[in-house]
Amino acid sequence: MEDGLVNTSKSAVPAAYGSAQGDEMRGLRDALVMMVDDEPLNIEVTQVHLEEAGYTRFVSTDDPLQALELINARRPDVLLLDLMMHGMSGFEILERMGASNVLQDVPTIVLTSSTDPRTKLKALELGATDFLAKPVDSSELVLRLRNTLAAKAYRDRLANYDLLTGLPNRHTFMDRLEWALSHATRYRHMGAVLHVGLDDFKKINEALGPALGDAMLQQVANRLEHCLRATDTISRLDAAKQRPSLSRVSGDEFTILLPEVSRSEDAAQVADRVLAEIAAPVHLLEHEISVTCSIGITVFPDDGGERDNVLRNAGAAMHYAKACGKNAARFYSSDLNARALQKLNLTTQLRRALEREELVLHYQPKVDVASGRVVGAEALVRWQHPERGLIMPGEFVPLAEENGLITPLGEYVLRAACRQSAQWRAAGHYVPRISVNVSSQQFSQSNLVAVVEKALRDTGARAQDLTLELTEGSMMDNTERNVETLEQLKAIGANLSIDDFGTGFSSLSYLSRFPLDELKIDRSFVMQIVNPGDRCAIITAIIAMAHSLSLSVVAEGIETEAQLAFLAANACDEYQGYLKSRPVAADEFAARFLG
């Protein structure tokens, strides 16, 4: 790895990082050397020796009483400490350093003119790393300093880096994050953390065994590094920006710290690149394996200023990305935790709702514009939740679409609607056509025709009393197959309708190829009619076009007389809307609308 390329730049990080990375000698000479001696001349001489050996960074004091404060403030990589000083002895300083969690790890070489072995022993007991006899011999000084720094660098490596991938570990990440947070707050700029989690890595690891699993993780780490290097090249055009850094924070999870971004979109761009890079297949021995990842993004200081919060938020966003189907990136938002929990609960409950038959159908009349008679009913699903009461489909249908529950749900609705139709007929009612919504997932299922046939057969409903409402989106891809499915449904005798027309990729040429009976104009167009005299060219055009294809036209969401008058004036066939009635329970529907 090129020196420091994917690590935070040296000038920008605390000295402790400088010695732990990159070209060893250069790293050592970048070390911050601190000298404490009550004789200023000694300090000067030592510094001259070290400068000759290439060292450049020094901090010193001839007042032992200030030593601890200075060590604390500057955190040197090594401390050269005189033992015999006025005011406070080197022993006392060592003792106090030993009592401090942060200072006890600073490697300390004591300088002493004493030849008494007990003096040396005591200093060692107090935590000194090495000795130098005074007067200092320059070559001995340089050698001892190098050894001490090399040992420290090795120790730092073990403590701060992950052995498998060579990346900084969680501990280092947290330190860097803390630093990036304070920098961002102080200089009022924005940063971001990307939490990258491999999708289903456990399965891969089980299938491949731990050795190949490790190899896979190494490859992933390489790819991530490569991504960041590319990012770095771009962001370094803006030289003032600090470099991104990559860490491995747990088994199959990595973090990317972008200490400085101009906009949150920058973080999204990095995420996009990572998604693409990781998804390319990996070659391991004779295996070709694909793995994807999910990424949670959080920006700081906006999303929360504490480093633990930042990591937790990024993690929550990553889990959300996984829950949304994986291989994707998601931004953290403050209500994400609450929402994620709520959604998870709702999904579990929805599964149970299907078994416990908590789903009910309400029916909204479809009205003939010319005569005002109710000629049909759209079945709209509701969830009679035991605690929350009636939940509308807007809340749970998209959820069901996300997790595959929409197919059993749709089937449930279809059967319930058919049963209702048969019941009304058996009761001697005039039977309206019942419309059932079919989601695109349900439509693309290979056995839809069989499912519809079975529902009709099992319930005794008639196909001509059933209308299936499909959406534009579900018909647009794989048109050949769709035409076939639609023709089979028509052959059974069912009616076919296209719902929410005008909101999707309405393509007239496609429309003419499908064997449809009805077109429903989306409510958003009807809403544009406010006054009786208003004109809406889109609606008139859709009606004309639909009629030319022999489709019956239904307008959705009619709430006012003005809207109804407009429809009557423009030869619209049917309407549906609160003006006539909201969707109501089956009993109420029968009582109000069926003779």
Please give the residue ranges that form the binding site for Mg ion (CB under 5 A).
Answer: 437, 469, 499-500, 556
182's tokens = 């304070």
Residues sharing a CB contact under 8 Å with residue 227, sequence separation 6 or more, in sequence order: 270, 273, 274, 277
Q: How many helices (H) and strands (E) does the chain have?
A: 24, 22
Neighbours of 204 (CB within 10 A): 21
Binding part of the chain for ligand C2E, among 312-320, 368-376, 459-467, 577-585 by CB under 6 A, reads 577-585
Q: Which value, in Å, is the radius of gyration of the alpha carbons in the chain?
A: 36
d(CA 269, CA 111): 54
- Quick one: what does residue 266 bind among Mg ion, ligand C2E, none, with the CB cut-off 5 to 8 Å set by partner type? none
577 near ligand C2E (CB under 6 A): yes
> Which residue, 546 or 558, is less far from ligand C2E as judged by CB?
558
- Quick one: what does residue 410 bind among Mg ion, ligand C2E, none, with the CB cut-off 5 to 8 Å set by partner type? ligand C2E
- Quick one: what does residue 257 bind among Mg ion, ligand C2E, none, with the CB cut-off 5 to 8 Å set by partner type? none
Q: How far apart are the two ends of the chain, measured CA to CA in Å?
A: 82
For the bound state, the minimum distance from the C-beta of residue 411 to ligand C2E, rounded and expressed in Å, comes to 10
**In which order are the strands placed within the sheet that holds 253-261?**
245-250, 253-261, 190-198, 293-300, 329-331
DSSP 3-state helix, strand, coil percentages of the chain (rounded to 5)? 50, 20, 30
For the bound state, the minimum distance from the C-beta of residue 472 to ligand C2E, rounded and expressed in Å, comes to 12
DSSP-assigned letters across all residues of 132-200: EESSPPHHHHHHHHHHHHHHHHHHHHHHHB-TTT--B-HHHHHHHHHHHHHHHHHHT-EEEEEEEEETT
Site string for ligand C2E, 484-523 (x = CB under 6 A): ---------------xx-----------------------
437 near ligand C2E (CB under 6 A): yes
- Quick one: what does residue 559 bind among ligand C2E, Mg ion, none, with the CB cut-off 5 to 8 Å set by partner type? ligand C2E
394 near ligand C2E (CB under 6 A): yes
> Which residue, 349 or 442, is less far from ligand C2E as judged by CB?
442
User: Which positions from 396 through 425 interact with ligand C2E, judged by CB under 6 A?
Assistant: 397, 410, 413
> Which residue, 225 or 556, is less far from ligand C2E as judged by CB?
556
d(CA 523, CA 395): 19
Binding part of the chain for ligand C2E, among 167-175, 276-284, 297-305, 386-394 by CB under 6 A, reads 386-394
Residues sharing a CB contact under 8 Å with residue 221, sequence separation 6 or more, in sequence order: 165, 166, 167, 246, 248, 254
Please check whether residue 296 is in contact with residue 324, taking contact to mean a CB–CB distance below 8 angstroms: no
> Which residue, 439 or 482, is less far from ligand C2E as judged by CB?
439
**Choice from 439, 459, 474, 482 touching ligand C2E (CB under 6 A):** 439
**Choice from 19, 60, 245, 364 touching ligand C2E (CB under 6 A):** 364
Among 230, 227, 282, 233, CA closest to 256: 227
> Which residue, 270 or 413, is less far from ligand C2E as judged by CB?
413
Interface with ligand C2E (CB under 6 A): 364, 380-381, 392-394, 397, 410, 413, 437, 439, 469, 499-500, 556-559, 576-578, 583
